[in-house]
Chains A and B, each alone.
Chain A
Amino acid sequence: MWQWFFKLGSPKWFYELSGKWLPWLVAAMSLLLVIGITWALLFVPPDYQQGNTIRIMYIHVPFASISLAFFPLMAVAGTITLVWRMKLADMVAKTAAPLGAWFTALALISGSIWGSDIWGTWWIWDGRLTSMLLQFFLLVGVISLRSALEDTDAAAKACAVLSIVGCINVFVIKYSVDWWNTLHQPSSPIGMAGDSANGPEIWVPLVIMIVAVYLFFAVSLILSTRNEILQRERRSKWVQELLASA
């Protein structure tokens, strides 16, 4: 029953399987990105209050929503590393940290540009902005701990512990910071419900962009994990054969 689970931990198996998935994921991602961006930039009606600035939302919201997934992802991968000693989990955790820092930074930067027009300021010490900034710092902490520890195995376990602690902390930070000072609007309901403030011409492209950015995240994570697999398994037979045939 557990066989598939342990098979999942084999870098070689993952490398082969992800190689098969990758073209489909990239195709779906490109298609959705092209549709989503074109729709968002050219066809969405300007907001009655924010005008064309509203189009930043189609970048900002997807990136902001996915950057919240990184700590839970790293904590789950870290738990698997600590409990089952699965090499693949740590490779995912290792590549997730810099990606998470980039995504968080993009969410912050796009939000800042949006804010410069709507709030009249590039930065404000608001709950959400501050908690995102702190999440960025925590991710930088994980990255620097990883690079400081030379032994791969020790680094894997240490980062796993830090990710689990950090994951709990991200939630505590989020609540405490919201409670401290809040200006950022809460997320608007997306859906068909009658109470939804926005019509489908607003939210359908947003959903497309969110799915596209999630796929972008999956593709980036898979690509860098594959890279990490090749680097760490470079002495193994299958990688040598793969490189010889390439």
Chain B
Amino acid sequence: MTERRITTAAAFRATLARDLLIAYKRKNDIINPFMFFLIVATLFPIGISPDPQRLGEIAAGVLWISALLAAMLSMDNLYRADYEDGSLEQLLLSPHPLYFMVLAKNISHWLVSGLPVVLASPLIAYMLNLPTDVYFALFMTLLLGTPVLSLLGSIGVALTVGLGSRGLILAVITLPMSVPVLIAGTMAVQQTLNGAPLTAYLAILGAMLLASITLAPLASAAALRISIN
């Protein structure tokens, strides 16, 4: 029996490419989280105050919370379709370490749902009257922080993938876990406004990103194995 060996790197690339292709074919997956992000960000000026002064003070928090909610909403797509059509089981049966497969799925999820939010953040920041000198801080913290949100959220999705209705339970599990990222992100912007150097906060967010790249996919993989017996 001749069997073609596929390296783990090739399997990683194939999983990533497949997920990106699926997202490209179903453009709603890209557009919906982004629209959700825009709409949530729009609710704050309407709900709190259209006063530019006050909006400028809360703009960083508004953007972070909107990004967090958008990441969480889009999480549902991460494993659900694969779970329903059985390809998730195939992924678990593959001889390659599940860690890399999960990481590939997380990266594709972030590219599809996180990156557009990061790229659009300066525009929303402008609309919310965030002082211009902290645009860079906001952009960088979102760039480092949103992948962490995807990686953490993936654990919650993996734990609940077998459940019928799980929108709320996912939120209850994932949102408290995301608090450190939220704090580091908004603190960085606030402190930059006060003239403190940004590097310390970027280092902390970078550390969170590295720690969650190494650990979170392991937890997600274990959770997936539990959810799919």
Residue numbers of A with Cβ under 8 A of B are 82, 134, 137-138, 140-141, 144-145, 148-149, 154, 157-158, 161-162, 164-166, 168-169, 172-173, 175-177, 179-180
Contact = CB atoms under 8 A, between A and B. Distances in A.
A137 B183 CA distance: 17
B166 interface: yes
12 contacts: A137-B172, A138-B177, A148-B166, A154-B226, A161-B219, A161-B226, A168-B215, A169-B180, A173-B179, A173-B180, A176-B180, A177-B180
Given A154-B227, A158-B227, A145 B159 contact: yes
Interface of B: 155, 159-160, 162-163, 166, 169, 172-173, 175-177, 179-180, 183-184, 187, 215, 219, 222-223, 226-227, 229
A158 B175 CA distance: 18
Given A137-B172, A145-B169, A164-B219, A158 B159 contact: yes
A180 B166 CA distance: 31
B222 A161 contact: yes
Contacts of A173: 176, 179-180
A169 B177 CA distance: 6
With a 10 A CB-CB cut-off, give which of B163, B172, B187 has the most chain A CB atoms. B172
Contact of A148 (B160, B180, B183): B160
Given A137-B176, A161-B159, A176-B183, 9 more contacts: A137-B172, A144-B169, A145-B160, A148-B169, A154-B162, A172-B180, A173-B180, A177-B179, A177-B183
In terms of DSSP, what is the predominant structure of the interface of chain B? Answer: helix
A158 B172 CA distance: 15
Nearest to B174: A141
A232 B179 CA distance: 36
Contacts of B166: 148
A128 to B, nearest CB: 14
B209 to A, nearest CB: 13
Given A145-B159, A158-B227, A161-B159, A134 B169 contact: no
Contact of B177 (A145, A165, A179): A165
Contacts of B179: 134, 173, 176-177
Given A144-B169, A154-B229, A161-B159, A180 B183 contact: yes
A226 B219 CA distance: 30
B191 to A, nearest CB: 11
Contacts of A134: 176, 179
Contact of A158 (B180, B184, B215, B226): B226
